[in-house]
Amino acid sequence: MLIWVFLAGTVLVSGTFENIQELPDYQKLSQNPYGSKILSTISLQLSSDKPPEEVILLLEEISNKLLDEQRKDDQLNVTRAAECKAEIEFLDRPIEVMHSEIERAKQIEAEREPLFNSTIEKRNAKDQEIRFFEGEIMSLDRNSKIDAEKLQKKYQEHEEALSAIDSSLEYMQKVYTDQESQSVKSNHPHMEIIPLDVLLEVSENQDSIVKLIDIMTDIRKDYQASLKSLIDRKLEGEKDYKELKDSISSVISDLKEIRESLDKHSLELSDDLEESRRMQREAREECGSMERARDDKVTECEAWSNQYINEKDKRSEELQIIREIQKLYSV
C-alpha cells in the first residue's frame, strides 16, 4: 500500500516534472485580466478542497459557454446581415426611382422653360402691336372728328351765305318789281353778301338790277354746287373713315386672337413648369428622408458588424486562454 502511494507520488511528481517544459507561462497568463480572473477562481476552488476534476469540469463549462455564445453571435450576425441587406436594398430602389423622377422633371423644366420664355416674348410683342393699332384708331377717330367739324363749319358758312344770297335776290326782285322805298332798302336784313351802298347805287338803275340778279343767280348756283360737294365730301369722308376703322379693327381682332392663343399656350407651359418644379421639390424631400434613413441603417449595421468582430476577437482570445489553462490542469 505504501509502495503504491510512493509510486503514484513518484509518477505524479515525475509527470509534473516532465510536463514543465511544455507548460504555458503561468505568470504570463496571470498578467492577463481574464487569465488572472480564471486562475483566481480556480485557486479559490482548490483552496476550498474541491477535487481537481471539478476544475477540469469548470474549465470545460467555461469553454462551452464561450463557444455557445459565439454560435449565438454568429447566428445573430447572419440574421442581422440579412436584415441589413434587405432593408438597405428596400430603400435603394425607391431612392433610385426618386432620382430618375427628379431627372425626368428637370428635363421637362429644361425643355419647357425656353419655350415658355419665347411664348411670353411673342405674347408681349403682340400686345404692343395691339396697343399701337388701338392708338391708330384713337387718332383716326380724333382726326375724323376734327375733319367733320371743319366740314360742318364750312357747310354752315355756305348755308349762311346762300341764305344771304337768297334774301338779297328776293330783295332785288322786290326792288325790281315794286320799286320799294329807301327805308325798306336800308332796313333789309342779310345784305352782307353785297355791300349796302353798292346795292343802293345799283337799285337806282333797272338794267343794273337785272344784271346783278343774273350774277347773283350764278353765284347762288356755285354755292349750291359747293354745298352739294361738301355733302359728298362728308359722306365720302365717313365712308373712308369707316373702311379704315374696320380694317384696323379687324387687324386688332386678329392680333387679339393670336394673343389669346399665346396666353393659353403660355399658361399651359407655366403649369407644366410649376408641376415639374413641384415634383422636383417633393421628390428631393422624399429622397432626402429616405437617404437619411438608409445612411442611418448603414451606420447601425456597421456598428453591429464592428461589435460582432470585437466580441469575436475577445472571445477567441478568452478561449485561447482557457485552452492554455486547461493544459495546466489537464495532467
Ligand X SMILES: *[C@@H]1O[C@H](CO)[C@@H](O)[C@H](O)[C@H]1NC(C)=O
Binding residues for ligand X, per CB under 6 A? 74, 77-78, 81, 113-114, 117, 305, 308
Is the separation of the CB atoms in 140 and 244 below 8 Å?
A: yes
What is the spatial distance between Cα 291 and Cα 285, in angstroms, rounded to a whole number?
10
Question: Least CB distance from residue 258 to ligand X, whole Å?
Answer: 21
Other C-beta atoms lying within 10 Å of the C-beta of residue 162: 18
> Whose Cβ is closer to ligand X: residue 133's or residue 308's?
308
Cα–Cα separations (whole angstroms), residue 95 to 10, 46, 285, 302, 324: 77, 64, 11, 21, 53
Give the rounded distance of the alpha carbon of 149 from its chain centre.
Answer: 56
Q: H helices within the chain, ranges in order?
A: 2-19, 26-31, 33-47, 52-178, 182-187, 196-203, 206-329
> Whose Cβ is closer to ligand X: residue 156's or residue 299's?
299
Is the separation of the CB atoms in 38 and 324 below 8 Å?
A: no
> Whose Cβ is closer to ligand X: residue 28's or residue 278's?
278
Question: Least CB distance from residue 229 to ligand X, whole Å?
Answer: 59
Question: Least CB distance from residue 277 to ligand X, whole Å?
Answer: 13
Other C-beta atoms lying within 10 Å of the C-beta of residue 175: 23
Q: Which residue has the cell 405674347?
A: 123
Question: Least CB distance from residue 90 to ligand X, whole Å?
Answer: 17
Question: Least CB distance from residue 116 to ligand X, whole Å?
Answer: 7
> Whose Cβ is closer to ligand X: residue 233's or residue 315's?
315
> Whose Cβ is closer to ligand X: residue 85's or residue 264's?
85
> Whose Cβ is closer to ligand X: residue 225's or residue 267's?
267
Question: Least CB distance from residue 315 to ligand X, whole Å?
Answer: 12
